Structure 1
Amino acid sequence: MDMATSTIIFIIAAFALGAVTIMKRDSLPPKMRRGLALISLVMIAFAFFLIVYALFTMGEGTL
């Protein structure tokens, strides 16, 4: 698996975890809810960083 595929899988997984955490927040215990929310927030922030980094380095190898 190359780096781009791994990055795309991570981005999809991060956003899916965030979506599931938001949709199921009423059925989660309060301690687990807080932990999942923090983990989701960190993963989504890192996914945004990876997206921005990929956009900045998109045309770098063509010179």
Structure 2
Amino acid sequence: MENESLVIYVIVVLCLGAVLIMSKDKMPPRMKRGMALTAVIMIALAFVFIIYSLLT
């Protein structure tokens, strides 16, 4: 994976997490759970990609 695309992915995922945290009161409960789960998975993948890029 190229470093530029990794940096863009990490920035986008962290912004998504920040938007979800700031707008958590405006979402319906059913949608809130799905979006939070998606954000957690994407943030975890971002850290895995960062570790992978540091090791290779």
TM-score in terms of structure 2 length: 0.88
Aligned residues, how many? Answer: 56
Higher RCO (C-alpha 8 Å, min separation 6) = 2
1:53 aligns with 2:49: no
Deviation at 1:47, TM superposition (A): 0.2
AA paired with 2:22?
Answer: M
TM-score in terms of structure 1 length: 0.80
Residue 30 of structure 2 corresponds to 31
- Which whole-Å CA distance do the structure 2 matches of 1:26 and 1:43 have between them? 21
What are the ranges of 5 or more consecutive residues in structure 2 without an aligned counterpart?
none
Report percent identity of matched pairs: 46
Q: Rg: which structure is higher? A: 1
CA RMSD, 1 decimal: 1.3
What are the ranges of 5 or more consecutive residues in structure 1 without an aligned counterpart?
58-63
